[in-house]
Amino acid sequence: MKSITIQGTKRESVGKKSTKALRDAELVPCVVYGGKEPLNFSTEEKSFKNLVYTPDAHTATLVIDGETVEAVLQDIQFHPITDKILHADFYQLSANKTVVMEVPVRIAGRAKGVVAGGVLRQTYRKLKVKALPANLPDEIVVDVTPLKIGNKLYVESLKNNNYTFMHPDNAVVVAVKMSRNAIKNAGAMADDDDEEEVTEGAVETTATEGAE
């Protein structure tokens, strides 16, 4: 998995006054958990651009006063009105310790049900997985080709040995629903079949009458 580098500075004070001062200076107060003790630091808000505002999943290489810490973003808080980043929590990575993070879902193929006029509904754009850092996937590829109208693809069918999904087995990832066009097409086909049956019946009746 690709990593985004974030430069930071250790925070000596973590009180409300210092936190407000950081935000006024357009800096984001952050904490890294998972080590011997929490590490408080601050960084520029623009540092999150390629980590947060992207559909892709990345780990973070935190360079704090020259010290490098490999981590994943665990939680982020935004201002309810301005959407400015208020706070961020990271979790330090360890080669032998599992970690939980969200990974994007990529749809592959074209469902048979869509070809027949159905509509593909994607319930999850991202799935939360638990794995060792080395096994974290860049994305979850979902092949929808076999799905017909009415079919659903569940989390259970995506299971593998590299990571564990933090969702119920019966959670629906994608489904192919009947669309209005598909209903109309089905109705039109049914009408055509009825007309063919009527026509065939008329021919048979005429032939019988001619024979008599």
Are 14 and 75 within one domain?
yes
What pLDDT score was predicted for residue 36? 86
What pLDDT score was predicted for residue 189? 43
Are 10 and 78 within one domain?
yes
Q: Please, which residues bridge with residue 126 across strands?
A: 104
What pLDDT score was predicted for residue 15? 76
Are 138 and 189 within one domain?
no
Are 137 and 76 within one domain?
no
What pLDDT score was predicted for residue 181? 63
Residue tagged 């210092």 (tokens): 18
Are 115 and 140 within one domain?
yes
Are 164 and 201 within one domain?
no
Are 78 and 133 within one domain?
no
- Provide the domain count of the chain: 3
Digit-coded pLDDT (tens) for 28-71: 999 999 888 899 999 999 999 999 988 899 999 999 998 999 99
Question: How far is Cα 87 from Cα 34, in angstroms, rounded to an integer?
Answer: 17
3-state secondary structure of 166: coil
Are 205 and 130 within one domain?
no
What pLDDT score was predicted for residue 179? 77
What pLDDT score was predicted for residue 184? 60
Strand runs labelled E in 93-204? 99-108, 119-122, 126-131, 140-143, 152-154, 164-165, 172-177
What pLDDT score was predicted for residue 185? 55
Question: How far is Cα 148 from Cα 113, in angstroms, rounded to an integer?
Answer: 4
* Number of helices followed by number of strands (H, E) in the chain: 4, 13
Domain at 153, CATH number: 2.170.120.20
What pLDDT score was predicted for residue 197? 46
Domain that holds residue 201: 181-212
Low-confidence ranges of the chain (pLDDT < 50): 188-212
What pLDDT score was predicted for residue 190? 45
What pLDDT score was predicted for residue 14? 76
